[in-house]
Amino acid sequence: MRFAAIADIHGNHAALQAVLEDIAALGIRDIVNLGDCFSGPLEAGHTADLLLLLDMNAVQTVRGNHDRYLLETPPEAMGRSDAHAHGQLAPRHFEWLRKLPTSMVWREDVFLCHATPSKDDVYWLDKVSGEGNVVLRPQAEIESFAEGVEQSLILCAHSHLPRVVSLSDGRMIVNPGSVGCPAYHDDEPVPHDVETGHPLASYVVLEKAERGWTPQFRTVAYDHMAVSRLAADNGRADWAAAIATGRMG
């Protein structure tokens, strides 16, 4: 079994297209998407049209926290990134979002969720220290979130940081990283920056062989400076810097 996992596209249509081309060039047809599809000052509408097309071709998507905010938060109360995406989405896009599961078992052996099985807004593999440093979460905490999940491969996203963690019983948890947003700032639980340090689009190819699952983390170049300029034109210097460099400045 060999397939690709993508996540945290955040309305970056150009990055998504580049990743899809890379996946196709590898001869891979099966794709799962771990959510946070649209939020951001970019091209939510075009991204949504592409994802609906992929959905028709059996790409499985689970819903992220920002996908949920787009459905649940009144537009006037939304953050700027969600509000920008909300303004670009059509009724058919919201209808698609509403039908997405928050987690699911895919092909019997793979568990999909955006963040953890029970919460869509908690980093599973990473932890924010009191000083705002993002570090590997202690093993016991990672294992406790995995209680009750029986699949040998667990996929999560949300932190935008590519990572693989092995559990003591042999299960594996993989975060593919972010297709469209290589750095960001968040104020919860304490103010912190997440930074990959590069502008490339990230995703992962997963292959199950005799010895178990092997994640192959991939990065793909695209015209990130054009997307950075779009973010700047839309009044978001923070996003422009993040997409240009993978750092917050």
Could you list the residues that contact Fe ion (CB under 5 A)?
36, 64-65, 158
Determine the length of the chain: 249
CB of 149 to Fe ion, least distance (A): 19
What is the 8-class DSSP label of residue 67?
H
Give me the least distance between CB of 99 and Fe ion, in Å please. Answer: 19
Whose Cβ is closer to Fe ion: residue 64's or residue 177's?
64
Nearest to 153 by CA among 168, 166, 139: 166
Cβ-contact 83, 40 below 8 angstroms? no
Q: How far is the CB of 79 from Fe ion (least distance, A)?
A: 12
Q: What is the DSSP letter of 210?
A: T
Q: Which is nearer to Fe ion, 41 or 213 (CB)?
A: 41
Task: State which residue has the least CB distance to Fe ion.
Answer: 158
**36 vs 82, which CB is nearer to Fe ion?**
36
Q: Residue 80 or residue 229: which is nearer to Fe ion going by CB? A: 80
For residues 133-146, b (16+ Cβ closer than 10 Å) or e, as one string? ebeebeeeebeebb
Structure-block tokens of residue 70: 């787009």
Q: Minimum distance from CB of 24 to Fe ion (Å)?
A: 26
Distance CA 4, CA 203 (A): 7
